[in-house]
Amino acid sequence: SSIVGERKGHNLAFLMSLPISATQYTTAKLLAALGMFLIPWLTLVAGALWLILGSRDLPDGLIPVTLVLVTLPLVGFCVMTCVALVSESEGWAVASTVAVNVSYSFCWTVVASNTALRSGFQSATPVWNTTVLTALGSEFAVIAGLLAITLYLQSRKKDFL
């Protein structure tokens, strides 16, 4: 909302009149948004891992799939932030939020039905098979791609009014 609200409040025109480039503005907005998201997200991830590692009832084999699942909200947040930055439209921001929230149920179903991801659930040690590593790598590749595309599209913009 802070990203989309800049156009509504005419703050963006003021910001772009300062001696900063569109890439610097975009980088600052991305870093600020990611910073605000990563602090509670990393806290929750650390809490989940602490619960698994500290519990005798939960096998450490849950760690890889837990990391795959907790990275999904990070991917979703990046989608929503990048759409808001590029579109500067409240409608597109809301549409991306709805799409991301609906996609979680599909992603959880894919993870739950994937036998290669589930194979290490009951293991006493984490099982880092190729499916887990591919899933994690794909999630982080999507994040990097989204951020790169956003920076590229913002650098090509001519109108910030």
Q: How many C-beta atoms surround the C-beta of residue 139 within 10 A? A: 19
Residue 153, exposed/middle/buried by CB under 10 A (0-12, 13-18, 19+)? middle
Which residue matches tokens 């907790």? Answer: 70
The whole-angstrom distance between residue 158's C-alpha and the CA centroid of its chain comes to 27
Which candidate, 19, 123, 132, 38, places its Cα nearest to that of 78? 38
In Å, what is the CA distance from 153 to each residue of 24, 147, 149, 157? 13, 10, 6, 7
In the prediction, which pLDDT does 23 show? 81
Phi (first) and psi of residue 142, to 5 degrees: -60, -45
Type and span of the H or E element at 13: helix 11-17
The list of the chain residues with pLDDT below 70 reads 1-2, 4-17, 159-161
In the prediction, which pLDDT does 76 show? 96
CB 29 within 8 A of CB 21: no
